[in-house]
Amino acid sequence: MAPTRALLRSARPLLSSPASPVHHHQLLHDFLAPALFSSSSRRSLSSTPPPSQATPATTNNAQSHSRDGGAQQKPKKLKPLTPEQQSFLSSALRVNQAGELAATLIYTGQTPPLISRHPHLRPLMEHMYDQEASHLKTFNTLLAKHRVRPTALYPLWSVMASGLGWGTAIMGREAAMACTEAVETEIGDHYNSQIRTLLSMVTEWEEQGYDVGDEFRELIGTLRRIRDEELEHLDHAVQHDSKKAEPHWLLTGVIRAGCRGAIWVSERV
Ligand SMILES: [Fe+2]
Ligand SMILES: [Fe+2]
């Protein structure tokens, strides 16, 4: 289907990243701290070395330059990410992008068999596809911005997601909806867990008197919005009889286990 091809095409430059393998590890190692905090830290660096050379002092948020020479307000600093936090964030963006690609392909695979037998489902399928395509675009942008490599198993997930979408739609409307129910349940949990981790980072920084930074807050807001849309898809699936799929427990159990496995692998590979 054309939109999917376009998405894959747009994702391809990420797959065949021009960065040489030699530099790859290095890029992964330090991508997030300067990038996530760029907008505020760069404000403070107008006459200082580039962000990649940042020392703790240069990560200060110089928004708080004294106003008229005498601000009493304490300057708030941005705390650089620890290697563990950088690694968490790069894994999170990578797995989210893989999941959203899979979601677009599941709906792309489901739509033709489904709407040929149930034309009234076309608007719903288009609506869900459009939201998934927008999620994928969001993570494509974030991966490129923070120079995170996509999962190495991108092609495998693509084939499996398309097969899952098409296969469940062939089984019938209820099975297709059970697939959506299973996938969106896992994805909703997955986003919730990421949001919890990011919020605990925010709490820690705030307790230590650091600024959180607009970009980090924006990321949390984006994840919350996407999580809500995934849960909306879950509701649509249940409203359209996902629970009537036969055998529901087996279908959703297998698909949910598959999602968890794919998430686990994509976070690492
Ligand atoms: Fe999505
Ligand atoms: Fe979704």
What is the percent of the chain where pLDDT is above 90? 50
* Ligand nearest the Cα atom of residue 183: 2
Q: Beta partners for 78?
A: 211
Q: Domain-by-domain residue ranges, the chain?
A: 89-269
Find the range with the poorest average confidence among 39-48, 55-64, 224-233. Answer: 39-48
Please tell me the distance between residue 93's alpha carbon and the centre of ligand 1 in angstroms.
13
Would you place residue 74 in the very low, low, confident or very high pLDDT band (cuts 50, 70, 90)? low
65 among the known binding-site residues? no
For residues 79-101, give the mean pLDDT: 91
CA of 234 to the centre of ligand 2 (A): 8
Is residue 127 marked as binding? no
Distance from residue 93's CA to the centre of ligand 2 (Å): 16
Q: Tell me: is residue 218 an annotated ligand-binding position.
A: no
Cβ atoms of 151 and 95 within 8 Å: the answer is yes
Q: How many C-beta atoms surround the C-beta of residue 189 within 10 A?
A: 17
Mean pLDDT score across all residues of the chain: 77
DSSP string, the chain: -HHHHHHHHHHHHHHT-SS-HHHHHHHHHHSHHHHHTHHHHHHTTTTS--GGG--GGGGB-GGGPPGGG---SPPPEEPPPPHHHHHHHHHHHHHHHHHHHHHHHHHHHHHHHHHHH-GGGHHHHHHHHHHHHHHHHHHHHHHHHHTPPPPTTHHHHHHHHHHHHHHHHHH-HHHHHHHHHHHHHHHHHHHHHHHHHHHHHHHHHHHTTEE--HHHHHHHHHHHHHHHHHHHHHHHHHHTTGGGSTTHHHHHHHHHHHHHHHHHHHHH-
Whether the predicted pLDDT of 207 surpasses 50 = yes
Which residue from 39, 26, 24, 16 is spatially nearest to 215, judged by alpha carbons? Answer: 39
- What separation in Å is there between the alpha carbon of 42 and the centre of ligand 1? 32
CA 236–ligand 2 middle distance (angstroms): 10
Å from CA of 128 to ligand 2 middle: 7
The tokens describing 60, both together, are 């200060």
Ligand with the closest atom to the CA of 137: 1
Distance 100 CA to ligand 1 centre (A): 5
Residue 245 in contact with residue 177, Cβ under 8 Å? yes
**pTM for the complete prediction?**
0.72
**What share of the chain in percent tops pLDDT 70?**
72
Is the pLDDT at 56 greater than 50? The verdict is no
CA of 160 from ligand 2 middle (Å) equals: 16
Determine whether the annotation assigns residue 132 to a binding site.
Answer: yes
Q: Is 233 annotated as a binding residue?
A: yes
Q: What is the pLDDT of residue 37?
A: 42
Report helix angle 83-117 to 2-15, nearest 10.
160
What separation in angstroms does the CA of 191 have from each of 78, 100, 125, 197?
25, 12, 22, 10
With 80 as the cut, is the pLDDT of residue 139 above it? yes
Of 259 and 68, more confident: 259
Q: How confident is the model at residue 19 (pLDDT cuts 50, 70, 90)?
A: very low
Cα-to-centroid distance, 214 and ligand 2 (Å): 26
Distance in Å, CA 147 to ligand 1 centroid:
21
Ligand 1 midpoint to CA 87 (Å): 22
Closest-lying ligand to the alpha carbon of 135? Answer: 1
- pLDDT for residue 268 is more than 60: yes
Question: Which tens digit of pLDDT belongs to each residue from 210-245?
Answer: 988 889 999 999 999 999 999 999 999 999 998 888
pLDDT tens sequence across 147-195 = 998 888 888 889 999 999 999 999 999 999 999 999 999 999 999 999 9
Looking at the domain that runs over 89-269, which CATH code has it been given? 1.20.1260
| Spacing, Cα 226 to ligand 1 middle (Å) | 6
* Closest ligand relative to 127 C-alpha: 2
Is 100 annotated as belonging to a binding site? yes
